[in-house]
Amino acid sequence: MAAAVILAAGMGTRMKSSLPKAMHPLGGRPMLTHLLAAVSAVFDRVIVVVGPGMEALAKLAAPHATVVQEERLGTAHAARMAAPLLAGYAGDVAVLYADNPLISEATLKRLVAARQEAGLAMLAMRPADPAKYGRVVTDAAGDVQRIVEWKDATEAERAIGLCNAGVICAEGPLMLRWLDAVTNDNAAGEYYLTDVVALAAAQSRCVAVEAPEAELAGINSRAELAASEARLQGQWRSAALDAGVTLLAPETVFFSHDTVIANDVLVEQNVVFGPGVRVESGAVIRAFSHLEGCVVRGGAIIGPYARLRPGADVGEGAHVGNFVELKATTLGAGAKANHLTYLGDASIGPGSNIGAGTITCNYDGVNKHRTEIGAGSFIGSNTALVAPVKVGDRALVAAGSTITEDVPADTLALARGRQTNKPGRGFRGKKK
């Protein structure tokens, strides 16, 4: 039995943003959501500490409990805010930071297991550039004695490679006791969570659980956010390649946290996968396409320069060509929309062909309406389908038509102005 307290009250002044730091996106979802996914798999209770006016962040944390740190008096003070919700709790309590969003479930399990052998367990790392991280001071046996901040460290202490990642875990009653014992007797007048380590070491054994920098590095600036995004994308690209996906230029392909791509999919250069995308085996995603909230089924070809928006479902062997946009639209098996087309709130039957410049006029200024096109139909170029409207199976709509009424199956529909020719009125008939 273990509980997690996530400190998420920081605004992140170095982010230079009105958005709470924990809500900044990473891999297609907020930082806090990343951490919650890992924490929820390990801990039976989760409490998120937010700042005043952070209702949106509290909503993001739901269904987990939240408490508000009305005054920002330091990290130990923030952790203390969870004390009323932990009264009488006998299990372990871990304190984490929302700006360490990439800690894995496996690492958290190792932390909890290590706590069983010591009074306090903490996460630590050995970054390539320790920079100004706090150093973890250990004794000859490797047990943790204290954490010294870079600005307070001696030259010998700054040479230590083991750095603090900020996460600690202890028995609930002991954690609350040590948090209460932390003082603000320092230059900043704040209550620091790192002081808990020294208090714990004076009474019991403290151990450090090491994990890679890529997991534990904190995010406090836009530059660090970009660096974490790059590391995350690199991991996802490697995983896709290992799973049998062909990436012609891996460094130009961007995934989201929930992107699912089957083996034998080909992804060309400069493709972006937003949240909620699933691509089945044998599909081809051509260059400069953007996909979000959609399904691409086996053998389909997307792009180049295509946009699939939420609700798009592209059938087996279907084609979505250059400068074609689909939104809340099902494109049946073998159907084609190859050029310069917008299909919104529509269903297109198998084998139908949608000509260049076709649009579904799905919005009347107040409500959205659907367009239904049957199997094997042909929609001529530059057609406007004014929804709600239905086109039957094997129907033919003449190019340049504006369709406002249903078209029965096996019917030719023409809806355009009559052409009138005036002989002799061309250029040769005009005088200068």
Annotated binding-site residue? 399: yes
pLDDT at residue 430, as a whole number: 58
Q: Give the separation between CA 355 and CA 351, rounded to whole angstroms.
A: 13
Q: What is the pLDDT of residue 432?
A: 59
Ligand-binding site membership of 428 (annotated): no
**Ramachandran category for residue 90: left, alpha or beta (phi over 0 → left; psi -120 to 50 → alpha):** alpha
Non-local CB neighbours of 149 within 8 Å, separated by 6+ positions = 134, 194
Residue 169: name the closest of 118, 244, 241, 128 by CA.
118
Q: How many residues are listed for the chain in this entry?
A: 432
Task: Give the chain's end-to-end CA distance (angstroms, integer).
Answer: 93
Alpha carbon 128 to chain centroid, angstroms:
27
Torsion sign across C-alpha atoms 210, 211, 214, 218: negative
319 CB-side CA count, 13 A: 14
Please name which of 162, 39, 163 lies closest in space to residue 104, comparing C-alpha atoms: 39
CA-CA distance, 339 to 379, in Å (whole number)? 12
51 annotated as a binding-site residue:
no
Query: For 266, which DSSP code?
Result: E
* Contact (Cβ atoms closer than 8 angstroms) between residue 112 and residue 105: no
For 71-127, the pLDDT digits (tens) are 999 999 999 999 999 998 999 999 999 999 999 999 999 999 999 999 999 999 999
Cα-flanking dihedrals φ and ψ of residue 312, to 5°?
Answer: -75, 135
CA atoms of 2 and 19, how far apart (whole Å) = 30
Q: Any known ligand binding at 191?
A: no
Confirm whether residue 208 is marked as ligand binding. no
Annotated binding residue at 2?
A: no
Q: Among candidates 37, 47, 194, 57, which has minimal Cα distance to 108?
A: 37
| 421 has binding-site annotation | no
Q: Is 362 one of the annotated binding-site residues?
A: yes
Residue 316 confidence (pLDDT): 98
Query: Is the overall model pTM greater than 0.85, yes or no?
Result: yes
Joined tokens for residue 186: 């320092």
Nearest alpha-carbon partner for 147 in 131, 129, 166, 130: 166
306 labeled binding residue: no
Q: Which two tokens stand for residue 108?
A: 């958290």
Name all domains of the chain by residue range, CATH numbers in brackets.
Answer: 2-221 (3.90.550.10), 223-413 (2.160.10.10)
The answer to the question of whether 252 is labelled as a binding residue is: no
Mark whether 339 is an active-site residue. Answer: yes
**In the chain, which residues have pLDDT < 50?**
none
Half-sphere exposure of 93 (CA within 13 A, CB side): 25
Q: pLDDT tens, 217-237?
A: 889 999 999 999 999 999 999
- To the question of whether residue 263 is assigned a binding role by annotation, the answer is no
Two tokens, residue 417: 């102005």
Please tell me the distance from the alpha carbon of residue 272 to that of residue 118, in angstroms, as a whole number.
Answer: 46
**Which amino acid type is present at position 340?**
L
DSSP string, 92-106: EEEEEETT-TT--HH
Q: Among 24, 64, 290, 339, which one carries the catalytic annotation? A: 339
Rounded distance between C-alpha atoms, residue 35 and residue 28, angstroms? 13
Give the integer Cα–Cα distance in Å for 7 and 22. 9
Q: Tokens 């239905």 belong to which residue? A: 390
Q: 116-144: string of b/e by CB count within 10 Å (b at 16+)?
A: eebbbbbbbbebeebeebbbbbbeeeeeb
Asked whether residue 422 is marked as a ligand-binding residue, the answer is no
Q: Is 69 annotated as a binding residue?
A: yes
Residue 149 marked as a ligand binder: yes
Flag whether 41 is marked binding: no
Residue 19: strand pairing partners: none
